[in-house]
Amino acid sequence: MKCDVTDIPAFQASINRAAEHFGGLHTLINNAASDTRHDWAEVTPEYWDDRMAVNLRHQFFGIQAAVPHMRKGGAGSIINIGSSSWMIGEHYFPAYATAKAAIQGLTSTLARNFGPDNIRVNTVLPGWIFTERQLEKWVTPENEAACMAMQCLKKRIYPEEYNQTILFLAADDSGACTAQAYVVDGGRRGL
């Protein structure tokens, strides 16, 4: 189902339609984002608000639409996608990094709220995942060498590896996991 996550009424309606179509809702993965590079000195209030809408705001309102369906089903798993970029101080997208840092606050707060309903809320914080977009826009030999110098694991991380953490959190196997942040970055941010 196509949906603009910055159009909150349409986004919430899409979640409700999906729940109706599938006879309930057990898992919500808040994954929409944009890591467009920007210079802090050129950020306008409008650009800042747009980055918050694209990278953070929809996660809260997606949860707001999903939780009633999860309560009805007696359980659920909410997986918010953050980023480890703010943990290592990547400097080329301050609005994105701010939004991604805020996601852990959202996760921690809502995990406490929804725990009594058997609804788990976790964050997955990917490092540099070599998606098609990253390969097209940002990967250069120099950038990749700098990444590998920081990572403990000297290899590219592809979506298939990152997705395994998300699948674990969506499954009953992670039934005792909530309010956690799972970093999938090859050890880039260190210990």
Q: Which residues does the annotation mark as catalytic?
A: 96
Residues sharing a CB contact under 8 Å with residue 67, sequence separation 6 or more, in sequence order? 76, 78, 114, 117, 119
Burial label for 152, CB within 10 Å (0-12, 13-18, 19+), is exposed
Residues sharing a CB contact under 8 Å with residue 59, sequence separation 6 or more, in sequence order? 30, 80, 103, 106
Yes or no: say if 191 and 152 are a contact pair by the CB < 8 Å rule: no
